[in-house]
Amino acid sequence: MTDKPIYVTQPALPPLEEFIPYLQQIWDNKILTNCGPFHQQLELALAEYLGVKYISLFANATLALVTALQALRITGDVITTPYSFVATAHSLKWNGIRPIFVDIDPKTCNLDPAAIEAAITPQTTAIMPVHVYGTPCDVEAIQRIAENYNLKVIYDAAHAFGCKVNGQSLCSFGDISVVSFHATKVFNTFEGGAIICQDAKTKAHIDHLKNFGFVDETTVVAAGINGKMSEINAAFGMLQLKHIDAAIAKRAQISKFYNERLRFVRGISILQDNLTHESNYSYFPILVDADYPITRDALYNQFREKNIMARRYFYPLISEFPMYRGLPSATARLLPNAKEISSRVICLPLHPHLEEAELEKVMSVIVECARKPVTKRAIRN
Ligand SMILES: *Cc1c(COP(=O)(O)O)cnc(C)c1O
């Protein structure tokens, strides 16, 4: 067991025999896709579970983001965050939209509303914020800015499944929110995602867009795409829903363990300290401070040596990838908070299958490194 790799995440999988009856139904009815019975069931079940009205399932969240932008006919410039998974900006680029990167609030790691407002120009058409690690963006401030400047808001809520603020689903904000059901996310359908929108008309339009633009057998109303979730993924989602609360509860326990143990380690800050929202405990990001004896990357390497696959989410910044770094808004000087957090963050292993001994092993690396003599060069600033 000591040599078994400890991954930052592993998918929650229910017992295989529980999935067989679902497969049997698919084999019996021979409906594999095209919004069949499991697809319909899962849309209803997720609307209920998440507490949202209109949801449209997708093959993955990236296609959902691309389609959301099409549905709202977004063009021109869209303000977004450099501190996210690369698909956020890619969805803009696939629509010929120019991402405008603005800085984050170092406390939440989410877009700073003041920075959003300062970046608005006549070319700006929308804002695409991300609820990073499931931590809520300042949804009220963003809503106010959107109303004042007549901008659309598309939330990349890929991390936000099941999160709530003041009792309200974090996936219910903006004109559109997009969730991911990728294998690495809290709720997975192997691959999958969904668009959550605010009215039946928009949902109908999105449903057409994800099926080539077909409205009926002979009518095509838009240059749509094939973004549909298949029946096997939807069936798996129905089964996963039965286990999701237990999986989130296990994650909460592990987060509590890390919280209690890390509180006393000098030089380590817990990013999501004092949560004020209902979390899904999807990630456990920590920051390596200036008074920790070794750098973030040295700690990362120590983990690797012990076969612990902690991950640097999010490093590098999206704005540092070759297809974006030439943009004026990608200049590091303009993104000091994102740059700083990206250089200090590391996400600890967190998933429902982790055992106590594995958690102790993760902690022992952090604690042992904390006792080392200081060897690193002073961190910038
Ligand atoms: C995972 C993720 C996506 C992409 O989701 P897929 O379902 O894998 O396409 C987009 N944005 C963020 C922030 C993510 O973490």
DSSP string, 47-62: HHHHT-SEEEEES-HH
Best residue among 83, 163, 180, 233 to mutate for probing ligand 1, ranked by most atoms within 8 Å of CB:
180
pLDDT in tens, 348-381: 999 999 999 999 999 999 999 999 887 665 554 4
Is there a contact between 186 and 248 (Cβ–Cβ < 8 Å)? yes
Q: Residues 131-178: pLDDT tens digits?
A: 999 999 999 999 999 999 999 999 999 999 999 999 999 999 999 999
Q: How many CB atoms lie within 10 A of CB 281?
A: 25
The two domains 16-241 and 244-379 share their CATH topology (first three levels equal) = no
Our mutation pick for probing the ligand 1 site, out of 8, 62, 195, counting the most ligand atoms within 8 A of Cβ, is 62
pLDDT at 3 over 80: no
d(CA 32, CA 232): 7
Distance 61 CA to ligand 1 centre (A): 6
Q: How far is the CA of 117 from the centre of ligand 1 (A)?
A: 26
121: pLDDT strictly greater than 90: yes
Task: Tokens 């997708």: give the residue.
Answer: 58
For the CA of 84, the nearest atom of ligand 1? 13
89-100 pLDDT per residue, tens: 999 999 999 999
Query: Given the CA of residue 180, which atom of ligand 1 is nearest to it?
Result: 7
The domain made up of 16-241 has a fold known as Aspartate Aminotransferase; domain 2 (3.40.640)
Residues 311-326 have pLDDT tens digits of 999 999 999 999 999 9
Q: Give the SS3 label for residue 307.
A: coil
pLDDT for res 179: 98
- Examine the pLDDT at 294 and tell me if it is beyond 90: yes
* Rounded distance from Cα 57 to ligand 1 centre (Å): 14
**Can you give the residue ranges of every domain in the chain?**
16-241, 244-379
Output the CA–CA distances (angstroms, integers) from residue 108 to 273, 274, 344, 369, in the order listed. Answer: 10, 11, 14, 26
Q: Which of 121, 98, 80, 63 is nearest to 338 (CA)?
A: 80
Q: Report the residue among 90, 93, 156, 233 best suited for mutation to probe ligand 1: largest number of ligand atoms under 8 A from its CB.
A: 156
Which of ligand 1's atoms lies nearest the C-alpha of 62?
Answer: 9
Which residues form the pocket of ligand 1, taking CB atoms under 6 Å from any ligand atom?
Answer: 60-62, 84-85, 87-88, 130, 156, 158-159, 180, 182, 193
* Consecutive H or E run containing 107: none
The strand pairing partners of 156, in sequence order, are 130, 178
Looking at ligand 1, which residue's alpha carbon is closest to its atom 5?
61
- Contact assessment for residue 332 and residue 318, using Cβ atoms and an 8 Å cutoff: no
Distance of CA 194 to the CA centre of its chain: 12
Residues in the chain: 381
Residue nearest to atom 8 of ligand 1 (CA): 182
What atom in ligand 1 is closest to the CA of residue 185? 1
Tell me if the domain spanning 244-379 has CATH number 1.10.630.10: no
Contact criterion met (CB below 8 Å) for 157 and 194:
no
Residue 136's φ and ψ, nearest 5 degrees, are -65, 135
- What is the structure's pLDDT at 380? 46
Mean pLDDT of the chain: 96
